């Protein structure tokens, strides 16, 4: 608020500082509340030091601290009686609980991105106006996006904004997105008599909660829910197969590492199908990791440039063909430059595929904003378009 006096501002800040101390104590006090049981904690100093890009995560933590985000969330819950903070705490807890186990098993998960995305995935709900209250479940993605862009936190923000179950309808998602969507799916309100309480459900029970609320929904949307649930179930089965503990209630991080080299010749029936799914999930996770940002894409392109066998080069082009949908505009520009170089390749097959890919990238260059935007809001046009 800009029109308050300096004295009032100082008083407000003093109150928030006192509240911050009290809430910090509450996190470690064994408080019986939901956010006392699942406190909003972040990465340890050791985990921060191991991050590939700690600068962005530090910007996120600084923004939370400077704007008293957690304290304002707590005040909002006390005054307005919405338990959004409980939901955020639950999602954050599951995300880090699972993310740390996957990280310990050698999977390419960025703990900074999932920690920041989980803590900030619903921050936009606090930005919705009174007249938008009924559309908050749909509009909060837009306001969340605004907050992350304001603080120059693009990669964490991208994961945080795209946490809807409908984002699973895309063919491939990064591991961080899968973890956040899975965690968000499991934390829901439940009726405890006249009181509404936040709870962490199993995946199956959480899906049943959704089905119970779909009495007036047509069969088409019901089938959409079944499809995204099946994707989450496959992901959960994949984690369990790795030895990950998905039972959050006991809060014990599994240290048991299962043998990741299954004996395929001894398998039969449903076990074969399950392991084909696991191989597919692992392949997509590793490939999406290679396309996670500009620097990783440049590394992949350098490997492609050094490739002498044109048959192997064809496989690189197939990757760009299949995964081009998930590249940012900046990544598409870099890829277009590489493909332009390949138009002089001695092999006709490489030249033909490169030309076709250039056309594909140009036609899909413009990024569609898939989230609902508030009334009377016009999105700024991008600096570069396909035209």
The CATH number of whichever domain residue 144 belongs to comes to 1.10.3210
pLDDT at 356: 94
Confidence band of 221 (pLDDT split at 50, 70, 90) = confident
Record the pTM: 0.90
Please tell me whether residues 87 and 35 are part of one structural domain.
yes
Residue 294, token pair as written in the block: 């500009």
Please tell me whether residues 223 and 312 are part of one structural domain.
no
Confidence band of 214 (pLDDT split at 50, 70, 90) = low
Choosing from 222, 250, 278, the residue where a domain stops is 250
Please tell me whether residues 384 and 305 are part of one structural domain.
yes
pLDDT at 36: 84
* 138: pLDDT strictly greater than 70: yes
* 2: pLDDT strictly greater than 70: no
Contacts of residue 97, Cβ cutoff 8 Å, sequence gap at least 6: 248, 251, 253
Q: What is the mean pLDDT of residues 377-385?
A: 74
Q: Is position 268 within any domain?
A: no
Q: What is the mean pLDDT of residues 167-191?
A: 87
Please tell me whether residues 228 and 157 are part of one structural domain.
yes
pLDDT in tens, 322-367: 888 778 888 999 999 999 999 999 999 999 999 999 999 998 887 7
pLDDT at 259: 58
Contact 206, 110 (CB under 8 A): no
Please tell me whether residues 311 and 244 are part of one structural domain.
no
224: nearest Cα among 235, 209, 214, 234: 214
Mean pLDDT is highest, among 3-17, 109-123, 125-139, for 109-123
Decide which of 380 and 279 is more confident.
279
pLDDT in tens, 78-128: 998 888 999 999 999 999 999 999 999 999 999 999 999 999 999 999 988
* 42: pLDDT strictly greater than 80: yes
Residue 264, token pair as written in the block: 């395929």
* 252: pLDDT strictly greater than 70: no
Choosing from 232, 250, 268, the residue where a domain stops is 250
* 133: pLDDT strictly greater than 90: no
Please tell me whether residues 224 and 93 are part of one structural domain.
yes
Please tell me whether residues 139 and 204 are part of one structural domain.
yes
173: nearest Cα among 348, 323, 368: 323
Q: CA 334: distance to chain centroid? A: 24
Choosing from 215, 250, 285, the residue where a domain stops is 250
Please tell me whether residues 244 and 302 are part of one structural domain.
no
Confidence band of 374 (pLDDT split at 50, 70, 90) = confident
Please tell me whether residues 331 and 228 are part of one structural domain.
no
Q: Is position 285 within any domain?
A: no
Please tell me whether residues 78 and 147 are part of one structural domain.
yes
Q: Is position 11 within any domain?
A: no
Q: Is position 197 within any domain?
A: yes
Mean of pLDDT over the chain: 88
Q: Is position 5 within any domain?
A: no
Distance between CA atoms of residues 239 and 16, nearest Å: 40
* 257: pLDDT strictly greater than 70: no
Task: Give the count of domains, the chain.
Answer: 2
Please tell me whether residues 178 and 317 are part of one structural domain.
no
DSSP codes of every residue in 14-70: HHHHHHHHHHHHHHTTT-SSHHHHS------HHHHHT-SSHHHHHHHHHHHHHTTHH
Decide which of 115 and 218 is more confident.
115
Q: Is position 95 within any domain?
A: yes
Q: Is position 56 within any domain?
A: yes
Decide which of 263 and 38 is more confident.
38
User: Where in the sequence is the domain holding 311, given as residue range(s)?
Assistant: 293-387
Q: What is the mean pLDDT of residues 224-234?
A: 90
* 1: pLDDT strictly greater than 60: no
pLDDT at 35: 83
pLDDT in tens, 259-311: 567 777 777 788 888 888 999 999 999 999 998 889 999 999 999 999 888 89
3-state helix, strand, coil in the chain (%, to 5): 65, 5, 30
Strands (E), the chain: 187-192, 195-200
Please tell me whether residues 297 and 153 are part of one structural domain.
no
């Amino acid at each position: 608020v800009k029109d308050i006096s300096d004295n009032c501002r100082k008083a407000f800040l003093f109150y928030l500082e006192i509240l911050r101390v009290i809430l910090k104590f509450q996190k470690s006090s064994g408080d019986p509340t939901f956010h006392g049981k699942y406190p909003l904690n972040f990465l340890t100093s050791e985990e921060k030091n191991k991050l590939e890009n700690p600068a962005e995560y530090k910007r996120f933590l600084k923004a939370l601290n400077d704007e008293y985000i957690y304290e304002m969330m707590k005040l909002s819950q006390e005054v307005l009686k919405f338990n959004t903070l409980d939901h955020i705490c639950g999602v954050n807890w599951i995300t880090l609980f699972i993310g740390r186990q996957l990280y310990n098993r050698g999977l390419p998960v960025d703990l900074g991105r999932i920690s920041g995305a989980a803590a900030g995935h619903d921050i936009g709900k606090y930005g919705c106006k009174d007249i938008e209250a009924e559309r908050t479940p749909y509009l909060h993605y837009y306001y969340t996006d605004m907050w992350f862009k304001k603080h120059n936190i693009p990669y964490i923000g991208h994961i945080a904004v795209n946490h809807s179950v409908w984002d699973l309808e895309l063919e491939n998602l990064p591991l961080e997105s899968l973890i956040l969507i899975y965690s968000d799916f499991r934390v829901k309100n439940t009726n405890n008599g006249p009181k509404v309480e936040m709870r962490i459900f199993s995946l199956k029970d959480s899906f049943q909660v959704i089905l119970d609320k779909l009495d007036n929904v047509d069969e088409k949307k019901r089938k959409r829910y079944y499809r995204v649930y099946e994707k989450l179930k496959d992901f959960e089965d994949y984690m369990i197969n790795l030895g990950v503990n998905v039972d959050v209630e006991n809060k014990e991080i599994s240290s048991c590492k299962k043998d990741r080299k299954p004996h395929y010749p001894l398998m039969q029936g449903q076990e074969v199908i399950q392991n084909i799914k696991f191989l597919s999930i692992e392949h997509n996770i590793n490939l999406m990791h290679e396309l996670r940002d500009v620097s990783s894409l440049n590394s992949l392109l350098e490997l492609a440039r050094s490739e002498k066998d044109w048959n192997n080069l064809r496989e690189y082009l197939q990757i760009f063909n299949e995964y081009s949908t998930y590249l940012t505009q900046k990544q598409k520009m870099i890829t277009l430059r590489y493909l332009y170089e390949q138009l002089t390749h001695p092999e006709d097959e490489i030249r033909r595929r490169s030309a076709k890919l250039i056309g594909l990238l140009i036609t899909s260059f413009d990024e569609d904003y898939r989230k609902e935007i508030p009334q009377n809001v016009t999105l700024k046009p991008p600096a570069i378009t396909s035209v």
